[in-house]
Amino acid sequence: MKHESALQRLKTVEGHIRGIQRMVEDDAYCIDVIRQIQAVQAALNKISSNILEEHLQSCLITAVRGDSVEDRQRVLKEIADVFDAAMKV
């Protein structure tokens, strides 16, 4: 499976989020909750980075090596859009 590592990491994050939900339900100390949320955000950023790296190593290289100018432009625009969206967060 192409994204097996990402799926495993997402399942871990899912469990971590359930833990944060329990912390909120149990009225845990706010700073502790925030730290756990930050840990989840960092984990999601790492997953995103890994998937992007895989994309660059596969889809982008395939498009750049291909004959289709449209495919190259599409893939480059997708990557630019991802970075643009990341800057808005």
Tell me the per-residue pLDDT of 52-86, one tens digit each, with 9 for 90 and over. Answer: 999 999 988 898 899 999 999 999 999 999 989 98
pTM: 0.83
Please check whether residue 17 is in contact with residue 40, taking contact to mean a CB–CB distance below 8 angstroms. Answer: yes
Give the mean pLDDT of the chain. 93
Domain parsing of the chain, residue ranges = 4-84
Q: Which of 25, 45, 40, 30 is nearest to 86 (CA)?
A: 45
CATH number of 4-84: 1.20.58.1000
Q: Which of 58, 63, 60, 57 is nearest to 79 (CA)?
A: 60
